[in-house]
Amino acid sequence: MSKIKTAFFCSNCGYESAKWLGKCPGCAQWNTFTEEVLDKGNDKEQKWDGYNQGKRAVKTVALHEVTVAEERRIVTKDAELNRVLGGGIVPGSLVLVAGEPGIGKSTLFLQHGLMADQLTVLYISGEESEQQVKMRADRLNIPNNNFYLLTETATQTIFQEIRKLKPELVIVDSIQTLQSNSIDSSAGSVSQIRECTAEFQRFAKETNTPVFLIGHITKDGAIAGPKILEHMVDTVLQFEGDRHYAYRILRTLKNRFGSTSELGIYEMTGGGMRVVSNPSEILIAQREEQLSGSAIAATLEGMRPLLVEVQALVTQSVYGTPQRTVSGFDLRRLQLLLAVLEKRGGFQFGMKDVFVNIAGGIKVEDPSIDLAVICALLSSYEDVPLPHHVCFAGEVGLNGEIRAVNRIEQRIAEAEKLGFEKIIVSRYNKKSFDPAAYRIQVMALGRVDEVYQHLF
């Protein structure tokens, strides 16, 4: 009888070692090694080796002899998914989708599979029974006779069914539940995730079939499994959002076939995920006109311009140490902007509590939101509401200057489309656009004190 083979794997980065180590040489983390059984010496079933059960011819070719055809993409009925993937699904691509439990990953890609009625779709579920998936599909109410369901976790059985069906799109929910007979460790372990992903990667590349792998995330927000999982796949998508809000964001973290700065926005409804084609109207729809501490920022999420509402509240501090609380904004950035207002503007925030919230539950990292935050803080400080027809786009420097931001034309066009009458931008953006080309009034200012004198 063969000897049982074991190895130690780092649960953080997937580093493999023959013995236990206290500190991982790969990621320098402590106490992350776990022992996993690789081989018990039993005979293994055959892995994926192509539809024809034969080996493909392998030969070395010169680079100039490789013929490149025009890239053909599968354009889905979901415009947001097409945008995030860079124009559609690339045949033979391996896409990893990760997100928190209950955020709607399974619902979204069950909906995508049902909508792709021009393709033969195989949905592999390792977490739910056929009846459970059927109940969700009935709720979505999307008829599709080319949609097939397989509830199985053994990859050898899955590939046997794939040979019979020969699907044109495969969706796996989820990769952490699958188990390959080549590895004797439990499902969800580092070696199992790596082996199952490698088998699906080989299947996708040899048959030119796109595969979506739905994955879990850890309590820290990272994708569960070894880091090599993200290196193996072609595209990594993050499905995120606050479960207390109806909106979800599908964000690109890695894309070999397109931009990594794209995102799609969905709204969770009783009938599935609804595409939000114009999120700016929703993010500023519940705005009260006559309340202080509210400003509209023209920001960018990826390639898409968004108008978001920035809310600020400045109150007298009751305790000895004033509070600084933010939601959807960087706390250190808020402290920087408060220091600029104190040093360059003479406003005393030292004994006041400051609260900043980005309405709608989204997180904004674009520095062009600085000017709107400053104006919302000043509006709450003076208790004077801002005009409801004005929006802002500008980064604030440490000297109190308003710095230029990129792609200012798209921001101005979005504000004009939503009916705003004036947008305040940086003086240094003047060369980037022609004010006569817009119906909206574009006011270019250079310093924060000029904005304060203009508004208050």
Known binding-site residues for ATP equal 99-106
- Tokens encoding 148: 């097939």
User: Which of 142, 129, 120 lies closest to 173, judged by CA?
Assistant: 129
β-pairing, 5-10 vs 169-173, is unpaired
Coil, strand or helix: which one is 145? coil
Ranges assigned E (strand) in 317-373: 324-327, 352-358
- Dist CA 39 CA 14 (whole Å): 18
- Helices 331-345 and 370-382 sit at what angle, rounded to 10 degrees? 60
User: Which of 102, 139, 96, 348 lies closest to 242, judged by CA?
Assistant: 102
Q: Please list the residues that pair with 324 across neighbouring strands.
A: 354
Ranges assigned E (strand) in 67-152: 94-99, 121-125, 147-150
- Tokens encoding 152: 């199985």
- Dist CA 223 CA 105 (whole Å): 14
Are 178 and 60 spatial neighbours (Cβ–Cβ below 8 Å)? no
Count of Cβ atoms closer than 10 Å to residue 165 Cβ: 13
Per the document, the length of the chain is: 456
Rg of the Cα atoms in the chain: 27
Distances (CA, A) of 220 to 108, 217, 228, 230, 235: 23, 8, 18, 16, 21
Max CA pair span of the chain: 86
Q: How many CA atoms lie within 13 A of 355 on its CB side?
A: 8
Distances (CA, A) of 16 to 37, 166, 322, 347: 12, 35, 49, 57
SS3 of 410-422: the string is HHHHHHHHCCCCE
Annotated binding site: 99-106
- Helices 331-345 and 448-455 sit at what angle, rounded to 10 degrees? 80
